[in-house]
């Protein structure tokens, strides 16, 4: 019960001579909201790719709870509760919102391989998907094609897909990226409304969002973790100021 929700040990990855992750040591306790910040190119998305298995590390280990998941395929990690969203919408353009979330629900319930019963016959799955969409204020739009949704709604759908897998650890890659200020309220309500059982790590450039939602902040620079601490500690840290907050803002 005391083991962390997600941990990495000595994680290392290079592309040729470019080291994108150096000796990354992370320990995320259960239920905490972590923000991962750093300048562009610091390796934040790369770290998520490594943790979710889309990228294979050169060295190091990844733990989900007590299990070593370093060698697991990405889909196996999702089944164990490690889920991410994408910075650039990675959705199913020709599926309706309801179909997309229902697909995720079916995959979780291991129903996606069944071909002898029609989809609507799986009422529970459809209702669960609909419920998720309603909780994100997408209920009325559930029958619209994904590509016809507004950008902010698509970002919400990204989160809906992740929630449908019942994550234990949720990695959000710039969830509010590109969403205009007037549409982002719903998004933040969704993030705030995430269950306390879920451990959340989100990458974000907007410092207001970071200070509002995160209970702890990790700062990454050039593939390395510079410092980790509470929002007040980070705001006061001189190194962080110099590297990220103080100089020209890249985000």
Partner 1 sequence: MTAVAGQIAAPHRYLEAQIRWRAIETVFWLATLLPFVASPSYLVLASQIAITALFALSLDLILGYAGIVSLGHAAFFGLGAYTAGLAAKHGWGEPLTGLALAAAAAGLVGYALSFIIARFRHLALIMTTLGMGLLLLEAANSASWLTGGADGLQGVRMWPLAGTFRFDLWGYAAYTYSLIVLFLTFLLVRRLIHSPFGLALRGIRENATRMPAIGASSRAHIRKVYTIAAVIAGIAGGLLTQTTETVSLGVLDFQRSADVLVILVLGGAGRLYGGLIGAIIFMVARDQFSGINPQYWYFWIGTLLIAVVVFLPNGILGGLNQLMSRRGS
Report the site for partner 1 in 119-178 (rule: CB under 8 A).
Answer: 119-120, 122-123, 125-127, 130, 134, 137, 139-140, 142-143, 161, 164-165
Q: Which of 47, 45, 2, 26 is nearest to 218 (CA)?
A: 26
Q: CA geometry: angle at 149 spanning 212 and 145, to 5°?
A: 135
Is the CB of residue 39 less than 8 Å from the CB of residue 84? no
Q: Which of 28-36, 91-99, 179-187, 234-242 is the region at the interface with partner 1 (rule: CB under 8 A)? A: 91-99
Q: Whole-number minimum distance, CB 98 to partner 1, in Å?
A: 6
65 lies in the site for partner 1, by CB under 8 A: no
82-84/169-173 β-pairing: parallel
Of 84, 201, 207, 214, the one binding partner 1 by CB under 8 A: 84
193 lies in the site for partner 1, by CB under 8 A: no
CA distance 85 to 202: 9
95 lies in the site for partner 1, by CB under 8 A: yes
Print burial letters for 202-213: b (CB count within 10 Å at least 16), e (below 16): bbbbebebbeeb
CA distance 122 to 223: 45
189 lies in the site for partner 1, by CB under 8 A: no
Q: Whole-number minimum distance, CB 246 to partner 1, in Å?
A: 36
Closest CB to partner 1 among 73 and 242?
Answer: 73
DSSP track, 123-167: HHHHHHHHHHHHHTT-GGGTTSBGGGS-HHHHHHHHHHHHHHT--
Closest CB to partner 1 among 59 and 76?
Answer: 76
Q: Which of 41, 75, 87 is nearest to 204 (CA)?
A: 87
115 lies in the site for partner 1, by CB under 8 A: yes
Q: Whole-number minimum distance, CB 240 to partner 1, in Å?
A: 31
Q: Whole-number minimum distance, CB 151 to partner 1, in Å?
A: 17
CA distance 250 to 205: 9
Closest CB to partner 1 among 116 and 248?
Answer: 116
| 193 sits in which H/E element | none
Of 98, 170, 221, 225, the one binding partner 1 by CB under 8 A: 98
Q: Whole-number minimum distance, CB 163 to partner 1, in Å?
A: 11
Q: Whole-number minimum distance, CB 227 to partner 1, in Å?
A: 30
Q: Cβ neighbours of residue 37 under 8 Å, at least 6 residues apart?
A: 44, 203, 204, 205, 207, 210, 217, 218, 219, 220, 244
Of 104, 170, 190, 194, the one binding partner 1 by CB under 8 A: 104
Contact positions vs partner 1 (CB under 8 A): 52-54, 73-75, 78-79, 83-84, 86, 90-95, 98-100, 102-104, 106-108, 111-120, 122-123, 125-127, 130, 134, 137, 139-140, 142-143, 161, 164-165
């Amino acid at each position: 019960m005391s083991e962390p929700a997600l941990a990495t040990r000595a994680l290392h990855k290079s592309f040729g001579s470019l080291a994108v992750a150096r000796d990354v040591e992370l320990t995320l306790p259960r239920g905490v909201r972590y923000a991962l910040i750093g300048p562009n190119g610091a390796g934040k998305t790369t770290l998520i790719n490594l943790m979710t298995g889309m990228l294979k590390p050169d060295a190091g280990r990844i733990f989900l709870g007590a299990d070593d998941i370093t060698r697991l395929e990405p889909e196996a990690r999702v089944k164990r509760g490690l889920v991410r969203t994408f910075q650039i919408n990675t959705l199913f353009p020709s599926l309706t919102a309801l179909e997309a979330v229902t697909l995720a629900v079916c995959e979780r319930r291991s129903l996606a391989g069944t071909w002898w019963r029609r989809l609507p016959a799986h009422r529970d799955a459809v209702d669960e998907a609909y419920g998720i969409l309603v909780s994100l204020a997408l209920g009325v739009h559930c029958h619209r094609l994904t590509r016809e949704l507004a950008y902010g709604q698509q970002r919400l759908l990204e989160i809906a897909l992740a929630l449908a897998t019942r994550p234990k650890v949720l990695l959000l890659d710039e969830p509010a990226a590109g969403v205009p200020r007037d549409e982002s309220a719903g998004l933040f309500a969704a993030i705030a409304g995430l269950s306390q059982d879920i451990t959340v790590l989100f990458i974000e450039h907007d410092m207001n969002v970071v200070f509002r939602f995160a209970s702890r902040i990790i700062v990454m620079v050039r593939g390395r973790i510079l410092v980790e601490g509470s929002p007040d500690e980070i705001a006061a840290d001189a190194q962080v100021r110099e590297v990220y907050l103080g100089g020209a803002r890249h985000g």
